[in-house]
Amino acid sequence: MVKFTLRIDDKELVNQFDELARTHGMTRTAFIVQLMRDTVSAGYVPMRNGEGLRAITGSGAEVSLTRLNQDVISKQQGLLSDDQESAFKRAKQISGPKHGNRWVEARTILEEAGFKVFRL
């Protein structure tokens, strides 16, 4: 068993968190563990401005998806095939907050279209 201590100065936040845990029929610890499992299962999700994905094709074209506040901005350099263009548009759409921040799925879409994908 691993133990760690988490210190939070915001009493109201802790009270709200505890209430949410009770709503789910869980203790604070059980709820934290569940959230940790959910986060690990979800994989990489950019949390800060400037984080995101960079993807390169075999021909040297490059695209990027970057978090900026509550939006995702995209850039493209070079020519993409129709399949790559479609994959890029789809990845941009689903990585945005309005579509669930589905960055893991966006990465998979790009890789299946022939991109090599890296974190920004």
Domain positions in the chain:
11-42, 52-119
Question: For 4-11, which contacts have Cβ atoms below 8 Å and span 24 or more sequence positions?
Answer: 6/32
| Residue pLDDT, tens place only, 53-80 | 999 999 999 999 999 988 999 999 999 9
Calpha distance 118→16 (Å, rounded): 37
Mean pLDDT of 94-104: 88
Reported in sequence order, the residue ranges of 1-120 that DSSP labels E, i.e. its strands, are 52-56, 62-68, 71-77, 116-119
Mean pLDDT of 33-60: 89
Instruction: At 88, list the tokens.
Output: 């890029």
- In one-letter notation, the amino acid at residue 57 is T
Instruction: At 23, list the tokens.
Output: 């709503």
Q: Is the dihedral of CA 22, 23, 28, 29 positive or negative?
A: positive
The per-residue pLDDT for 39 is 81
